[in-house]
Structure 1
Amino acid sequence: MTTLIATDLDRTMIYSRSAMELAAGEKDVTDPAAQDDLLCVEVYDGKPLSYVTTAAESMLRRLADTTVVVPTTTRTVAQFQRIELPGAPWRYAITTNGGNILVDGVPDEGWRSDVDAAIAAGAASLSEIGDELARRVDDSWVRSSRIADELFSYLVVDVDAMPTGFVEDWDAWCSDRGWGASRQGRKVYTMPKAVCKSRAVAEVRARLVKDGVLEQGTSVLAAGDGALDAAMLSKADAAIRPRHGELEALDWQHPSVAVTDSSGIAAGEEILRWFWDRVECGAGSTPAASPL
């Protein structure tokens, strides 16, 4: 095989009801007439939570049969494992923003040890960061606070009530201590700089080349919508982001990163078609027919 696809999940491949909204003039998938076009891929507390379209399901399964697809998410191991993503089982998956590599569903202890060592060598401790964060927030706008796999923290916030400039000020304080902060929807992440998706993708690629699954010159294609995806997108041979999300709000651009024409769940289909064209034809070739 000559292609590895590393794709973010939430608001890139899979969508909650609140994330499905499309740009004006496009088909409204929340309309009752469109419900047959949706497949639930995640149930939480007995309630359906995340979806793909049936067209996206078909394309993702076919891509997984054709090339190496590596789900690459900021979700924790447990949060990832509750998704029934079309195309599974996955030989490799990346969770916790690159802090964990799953091999046949099991976290790789060697990789996690290396990540922990890198954090210890170049960043403040999670407890130090947590203590300072606690001094800066309050319950008037923070709905909950979580620690993700003992690697980083995130807040669920009321965006409208959050103090203006909080994320920027917090990021500046963290930056001098080997950490960074960013917002994705209602979540504000505080992340060690040593924990990044791009490093984990490079590791998975190297392992697959060593095992003979991928050729030495294998290219990496990537997709993602958030600031935490930016390094992965820019370091891929080619990448695409949806016309929504944090990177869209920042008007983030890169020469090798395309942007979808559509937004919302329709962008998920467009990203998969973009992957399909490049896997089937390669750069510069005439696009293949869509596998729909």
Structure 2
Amino acid sequence: MAYSWAISTRTSALSPAAALPGPRWVVACDLDQTLIYSRRSFRLPPGAVEPELVTVEHIDGEPAAFCTTGAAELIAKLHAAATLVPVTTRTRAQYERVDLGVRPRYAITTNGGHLLVDGRPDEAWAARIREQIATGARPLADVRAIAQRLAADGWVRVSRVADDLFVYLVAYERDGIPDLSGLAASLAADGWGLSAQGRKVYLVPAVLTKEAALAEVMRRAGPARLAAAGDSLLDAGMLAGADLAVRPAHGELDEHRWTHPNLRVTTAPGLHGGQELLEIIEAELATGHGPDR
């Protein structure tokens, strides 16, 4: 079971894009367990032959994340045909370890805390976000102290602060994560949300969202339709604001049976689902028009 509170009820910051003229598309994709996968998240059927892989991340010289060769080819096609935007809760440093084989004009890291333009952070955007957090959420130091108390209970392997914006914990085992609903309710009253994804628990200011940063990208990119893909409730806002939303058949959104009128769900989970969702987006772009809103 995945625990998620105080995130799925947010209103999307994105405006519907289907009314905008022209066939241009922005394609916003979450990274981990949407586009790229560690070996423990492959979710291959028992006895299945491992597909041909492309390594997209190394940690200390060792391969850490992958996609299929088919997915890598589709990423290149989408980058050529549209404005491809990686959108991730990873910090800037963690994102910079990833090589998708293309160099996107825009990227969003730290759950919307950083907007990268041609690989460089937009300092004005970062300052705006920090101001919003300062006026709308309990101080980070207080939440970090809460995380340290959780870590003292023995189920937390790692506790980290991400770019001085939010806190995340990594459990030894997913089943070891306790019921955090009471904490989530308390945090929500102080402007924070809590989400558990696999072995990770995120404590994130409610104003710090992927969809807010993506709305800024859409403003700068000009008239375009939006396709978005993601697997967690931290992705729900950008999926809800998209003309075409796709989620894989696994992850937090799948466990909560999250749906939306323009949502499509892959038939396969895991690594194969990552390629399938790109196939769905590529096929929609190939039609030359967007879905009805």
> Shared topology, TM-score over 0.5?
yes
Does residue 1:256 correspond to 2:265, yes or no? no
* Partner Cα distance (2:200, 2:150) in 1: 16
SS in 2 for 1:147: strand
Find out whether 1:17 has 2:39 as its counterpart. Answer: yes
Contact kept? 1:8, 1:224, Cα under 8 Å: yes
Distance 1:136 1:43, change over 3 A: closer
Matched, 1:97 2:111: yes
- Identity across matched positions, percent: 43
Quote how far apart the aligned CAs of 1:237 are: 1.6
> How high is the TM-score relative to the length of structure 2?
0.88
Deviation at 1:133, TM superposition (A): 2.9
CA RMSD, Structure 1 to Structure 2 (Å): 1.6
Q: Distance in 2 between matches of 1:241 and 1:136?
A: 31
How far does residue 139 in structure 1 lie from its aligned partner after superposition? 5.0
- Are 2:48 and 1:28 aligned? yes
Q: Which has the higher contact order (CA 8 A, sep 6+)?
A: 2
Question: Deviating runs (4+, > 6 A) in structure 1?
Answer: none
Contact 2:147–2:159, Cα closer than 8 Å, also in 1:
no
Q: Which amino acid aligns with 1:243?
A: A
1:288 maps to what in 2?
Answer: none
* C-alpha displacement of 1:174: 0.6
> Secondary structure of 2:103's match?
coil
In structure 2, what is the equivalent of residue 152 of structure 1?
166
* Equivalent residues in 2 for 1:207-222, closer than 5 Å: 207-209=220-222, 216=223, 218-222=224-228
Higher alpha-carbon deviation: 129-138 or 149-158: 129-138
Shift of 1:131: 1.6
Contact 1:143 1:156 in 2 (8 A): yes
Q: Secondary structure at the match of 1:160?
A: helix
Structure 2 gaps of 5+ residues are 1-22
Deviations 1:34-68 (A, max 9, x none): 4xx11111010121000111111111101101111
How far apart are the structure 2 equivalents of 1:84 and 1:78?
12
**1:107 alignment counterpart:** 121
Q: Post-superposition shift, 1:160?
A: 2.1
Aligned to 1:124: 138
Name the residue aligned to 2:59.
44
Pick one of 64, 73, 85 that aligns with 1:58: 73
Matched, 1:280 2:293: no
Asked whether the 8 Å contact 2:167–2:202 carries over to 1, the reply is yes
- Determine if contact 1:76/1:95 at 8 Å carries over to the other structure: yes
SS in 2 for 1:70: strand
Does the CA-based 8 Å contact 1:223-1:239 persist in structure 2? yes
Aligned-residue offset at 1:23: 4.7
Secondary structure of the residue aligned to 2:174 is: coil
The one-letter code matched in structure 1 to 2:225 is S
Contact 2:36 2:274 in 1 (8 A): yes
| 3-state SS of 2:176 partner | coil
Question: What residue is the counterpart of 1:68 in the other structure?
Answer: 83
Q: 1:29 to 1:44 in 2, by over 3 A?
A: farther
Q: Which amino acid aligns with 2:209?
A: C
Q: Which residue of 1 aligns with 2:211?
A: 198
| Residue matched to 1:84 | 99
Tell me the equivalent position of 1:8.
30
Instruction: String of CA shifts for 1:261-287, please: whole Å, max 9, x gaps.
Output: 1111111111111111111102469xx
What letter is aligned with 1:201? L
2:155 partner letter? W
Q: Is the 1:118–1:194 contact (alpha carbons within 8 Å) kept by the matching residues of 2?
A: yes
User: Where do 5+ consecutive residues of structure 1 fail to align?
Assistant: 210-215, 286-292
Cα deviation for residue 29 of structure 1 reads: 4.6
| Closer, same or farther: CA 170–28 of 1 in aligned 2, 3 Å | farther
Deviation at 1:10, TM superposition (A): 0.5
- C-alpha contact (below 8 Å) 1:22/1:262 kept by paired residues: no
Over 3 Å counting, the alpha-carbon distance change for 1:13 and 1:243 in structure 2 is: same
| TM-score normalised to structure 1 length | 0.88
Amino acid at match of 1:226: S
Q: Does 1:245 align with 2:251?
A: yes
